[in-house]
Structures are given as structure tokens and as C-alpha cells.
Amino acid sequence: MPKVVDEEKRRQRIAEAVWDIAAEQGLDRATVRAVAARCGLSVGSVQHSFRSQGELKRFAMELVVQRVTERLSVTPDSAVGPLDEQQAVAALLLETLPLDDEREKEARIWAAFSASALVDKRLAPYGRQMSALLERFCLACLEALGAAVAPSAKRELRLEALHLHALLDGLTLDLLADPSPSRRQQAAQVVRSYVECIGSKEATCS
Amino acid sequence: MPKVVDEEKRRQRIAEAVWDIAAEQGLDRATVRAVAARCGLSVGSVQHSFRSQGELKRFAMELVVQRVTERLSVTPDSAVGPLDEQQAVAALLLETLPLDDEREKEARIWAAFSASALVDKRLAPYGRQMSALLERFCLACLEALGAAVAPSAKRELRLEALHLHALLDGLTLDLLADPSPSRRQQAAQVVRSYVECIGSKEATCS
DNA sequence: GCTATTATAATATGCTTGTATTATAATACG
DNA sequence: CGTATTATAATACAAGCATATTATAATAGC
């Protein structure tokens, strides 16, 4: 038998090279050659791990969804009071924005794959999955803000989650186009104001 | 002298072929050959109008910005009452969303170029231009809703414009991923609720 | 240690790309 | 009418691409 390597780790390492290139130059520049060079492998090795380039891209995006899922599984706990709760939720939401360079890179990766998913049937399901994921996360945040809500307000809450999700996506896009510190501060302020607004509204309604 | 053609119209016709392909398959599939075939020209003719492919893409995105600028120059007039004003502003905002197939195509074009602008320095200025344009439009809409505002609230209004802009962008993205009628309805409802919320808030503040 | 097995690498192949070059067709002007 | 001029077209060409094929190196089991 031959040299044994952790095939799964290898695949993830290659996929992360795809991420890097996608973030810096766009997903279509993530050619097999470029990816192989990026992670110090030969073209043949990449081919050994992935049957085709399409499979590589698909896996790379699947891994994005997986990693984001893991991160977003942290649900806001309702242990503290309403004021602290607002701050906790705001902090949670702010973590999804590209407010520092590391998050910006992640957002660039997300943006590159999302854009491709709009025109690539193979990637579209993962785009929808990511979208649904973020929306559930937003819903959880809103529920944490408004505590228990009446069943009649369920629909309203769903719409509010759509609003919040769109807001986060839009702010992310904006910050990718202009990652200046002032812009980042403004975006953060928008989120904080939003949370404040929702918090007070829910309070009066309940 | 040779055959005389309206060179500007020709360039726009070619650029619109780029739009079509970008909307359907992504901007990177808008190869010189594909574009030429799309508008029934030869490769040589396209080359005659555009020195290089980079120039073609740049021009095509510049034209997008130009067309959007023309459309968004329609400012909400403050002739009617506050209730009608709300409806007018909401209608104006809803026109920016991909709620029908025609608008969806436009949004796909915008998305394709915006995504490329994130990794292409040559296109980045147009992305920022488009963003600034939309933000001014949002600001105008908010001013139309809140009538005259105190100078101290200027900053707050700017933040609200950023919020609205991000909301529209995010909803657009969401609708591109899922253009189902129900989703479109939900997105429209979110915008209407937003306008309502802002309208009532401004009223109490003034 | 030998060998079967497989990761890795190097190279080959056919296709697509952007662009340059060349040739052809069509028209405004003398 | 003839010709200078230029749009259009066709083709050529080098580079880059995904992928297939082939060769090499390395290791687990006997």
C-alpha cells in the first residue's frame, strides 16, 4: 500500500486555496493550475483529490456553508436582562459584518461564491442554503430581542428577519466596496440603531 | 471615405450584448467571441469598436451606471399630502427591486458587474459611483418622508440612508437567489413596512 | 527485502481565449 | 468613374485552460 494521507484534510486544504484566490481575484481565476500552485501541490495531486474543477468549486462552496453553519450555531442565550440582551444580540450581529480585515476576507469569499451561484446551477443550492441559514440566525436574534411573541406576530417576525438579513447582506456588500474605518463605524452604528429600534418596539408591543 | 456608422450606438449595442451574457452566464463568459455572436457581428467589428476586452467591460459598466443615473434622477415631489407621499416614496423604492422579470435581468447585470468590481480595480470606481448614487437616492426618499429636518438630525439621516441602501441591496440579492412570487411579495412588504415605520417616526420627531 | 498499490508528478492533448494580421467589401469625394 | 479610406470579416497565433495519460516515487503488508 502507498503513502497514506488524510484525504479529507487534503481536500480542505485545496478548497481553502480556492477561497484565497476567489477572495483576491474572483472565483473564475481559481484555475486548477493556480489552486495547485497556491497550496504547493502539483496539478496531478489536485486532480487526484478532485475529479474535475466543477467538483472542486462545488466542494469549496459546500465547505464555506459548513464553516458558516458552525459559527452561526452560537445562539444568543436569554440569561441576562433586556438591556444586556440587546448588547449581546448587537454584538452577535456585528460579528457577521466585515468590520476587520479577517472578516473582510471571509466576506469576499462569500461574495465571490454567491455571485457565481447566481449563474451556476451547480452552486445555487448552496447559495440558498446559506441564505436560509442567515435568515434563521436573524430570526433567532429577533426572538432573543422580543422574548416570547404572540402567534399572530409570527408572520411579522418572519418579515423582520428578512429585513435584518437583507440589511446585513447589504451592509456587507457596501463594506467590501469601501472598507474604510469611517464606513465600518457607520455600518456598525446602523446595526446598533436597528437593534435598539426593534428592542423598544417589541417592548411596547408585548 | 468608408461607410459611416453611428459609432456610439454601435458601442452601446455591443455593450448591451455584454449585459445579456453577464446576466445569463456571468461577466467572465462575455468573451469577445460570445459578445460578437450575440449581436450578430464579427470579432473584427467588435475589435474595431473596442481596443481591448478590458475597455469593453469598462465601457459596458460605465453605461450601466449612466442608465441607472438617468432612471434615478426622478426625485419624489413633495406636492401631495404625507399619506400619499408615503405611498409615492414606497412605489419609488419598490421600482429599484427586481419584482418582475425585466427588473430581475437588470439586477442580474448589476450584480455581475458589482461582483467583478470587487476584484477588478478598473471597474471599482464605477461600483463606488453606483453605490453613492443609490445612497443619494435613498437620502432623497427619506427627506421626502420626513419633510424638513433639523440640522442636528442630518447625521442620523445619513445613517438611515445607509440603512435603506443596504436594505435595498440585500433584498435585491435575495430576490435574485429566489425570485418566487411569494418571496417578491415578502420583499415588497418589507419595504412598505420600512417606509411606514420611518414615516411615523419622523412625524413624532418633528 | 520484495512487491503490490497508490500518491505525486510531469507531460501531452485538444480546446478556448485575447489579440494581431491580413484580406475583402463598401462608400464618400475628387 | 475611380480611388482613397475605412468598416468588416476571416484567419493566424501564442497563451492559458481542463483534463487525460504516462511515469516515478514511496510505503504497507508479506
User: Per-residue pLDDT tens for A68-109?
Assistant: 999 998 766 655 666 688 899 999 999 999 999 999 999 999
Residue B77 in this model has a pLDDT that exceeds 80: no
Local confidence band at B73 (pLDDT 50, 70, 90 cut-offs) = confident
Give me the percent of chain A exceeding a pLDDT of 70: 88
Residues 6+ positions from A206 with CB-CB distance below 8 Å: A146, A147, A148, A149
- What's chain A's length in residues? 206
Mean confidence (pLDDT) of chain A: 91
Position A106 scores a pLDDT of 98
Residue A140 in this model has a pLDDT that exceeds 50: yes
pLDDT (mean) for B68-90: 79
Cα–Cα distance measured from residue B82 to residue A165, given in angstroms and rounded to the nearest whole number: 29
CA proximity to A100, closest of A191, A27, A185, A25: A185
Statement to judge: residues B91 and B52 lie in one domain: no
Statement to judge: residues B172 and B92 lie in one domain: yes
Chain B residues in contact with A195 (beta carbon < 8 A): none
Q: Is B185 on the interface with A (CB under 8 A)?
A: no
| Contact criterion met (CB < 8 Å) for B174 and A162 | yes
Position A167 scores a pLDDT of 98
Residue A45 placed within a domain: yes
Q: Calculate helix-pair angle for B82-94, B124-146, nearest 10 degrees.
A: 160
Cell of A86: 440587546
Residue A70 placed within a domain: no
Question: Do residues B196 and B86 make contact, with C-beta atoms less than 8 angstroms apart?
Answer: yes
Q: Is B20 on the interface with A (CB under 8 A)?
A: no
Statement to judge: residues A109 and A166 lie in one domain: yes
Position A6 scores a pLDDT of 85
Local confidence band at B85 (pLDDT 50, 70, 90 cut-offs) = confident
Strand nucleotide closest to residue B43 (CA to C1')? D9
Residue B42 placed within a domain: yes
Shortest CB distance from B159 goes to which of A159, A168, A189?
A: A189
Statement to judge: residues A38 and A99 lie in one domain: no
Residue A148 in this model has a pLDDT that exceeds 80: no
User: Residue A106 is part of a domain; what is its CATH number?
Assistant: 1.10.357.10
**One-character DSSP codes across chain A:** ------HHHHHHHHHHHHHHHHHHH-GGG--HHHHHHHTT--HHHHHHH-SSHHHHHHHHHHHHHHHHHHHHT-PPP--S-HHHHHHHHHHHHHTTS--SHHHHHHHHHHHHHHHHHTT-TTTHHHHHHHHHHHHHHHHHHHHHHH-S--GGGHHHHHHHHHHHHHHHHHHHHHHHH---HHHHHHHHHHHHHHHHHHHHHHHHH-
pLDDT (mean) for B50-72: 97
Q: Mutate which of A123, A156, A162 to test chain B, going by most B C-beta atoms within 10 A?
A: A162
Residue B35 placed within a domain: yes
Query: How many structural domains does chain B have?
Result: 2
Statement to judge: residues B110 and B51 lie in one domain: no
Cα–Cα distance measured from residue A62 to residue A51, given in angstroms and rounded to the nearest whole number: 16
Tell me the C-alpha to C-alpha distance, in Å, between residue B196 and each of A9, A34, B30, B84, B190: 51, 51, 42, 11, 10
Cell of B64: 450601466
Strand nucleotide closest to residue A53 (CA to C1')? D18
Statement to judge: residues B87 and B146 lie in one domain: yes
Statement to judge: residues A90 and A166 lie in one domain: yes
Position B84 scores a pLDDT of 81
Position B146 scores a pLDDT of 78
Mean confidence (pLDDT) of chain B: 92
Position A171 scores a pLDDT of 98
pLDDT (mean) for B65-85: 79
Residue A92 placed within a domain: yes
| Contact criterion met (CB < 8 Å) for B177 and A24 | no
Look at B86 and A133; give whichever has higher pLDDT. Answer: A133
Statement to judge: residues A11 and A47 lie in one domain: yes
Residue B64 placed within a domain: no
Give me the percent of chain B exceeding a pLDDT of 70: 88
Residue B199 placed within a domain: yes
Statement to judge: residues A27 and A87 lie in one domain: no
Look at B35 and A151; give whichever has higher pLDDT. Answer: B35
Statement to judge: residues A96 and A141 lie in one domain: yes
Q: Report the distance from CA of residue B192 to the C1' of nucleotide C9 in Å, as an integer.
A: 61
Lowest mean pLDDT among A130-139, A150-159, B133-142, B152-161: A150-159
Sign of CA dihedral B79, B81, B82, B83: negative
User: Residue B21 is part of a domain; what is its CATH number?
Assistant: 1.10.10
Residue A65 placed within a domain: no
CA proximity to A18, closest of A3, A6, A1, A49: A49
Range of the domain at B15: 7-59
Residue-wise pLDDT for B142-191, tens only, equals: 999 876 567 767 888 999 999 999 999 999 999 999 999 999 999 999 99
Position B200 scores a pLDDT of 78
Query: How many CA atoms, within 13 angstroms, populate the side-chain half-sphere of residue B178?
Result: 19
Cell of A108: 469576499
Statement to judge: residues B18 and B84 lie in one domain: no
In A59-95, which positions are buried (b, 16+ CB within 10 angstroms) versus exposed (e)? bbbbbbbeebeeebeeebeeeeeeeebbebbbebbbe
In B178-202, which positions are buried (b, 16+ CB within 10 angstroms) versus exposed (e)? bbeeebbebbbebbbebbeebbeeb
Statement to judge: residues B160 and B104 lie in one domain: yes
Position B206 scores a pLDDT of 39
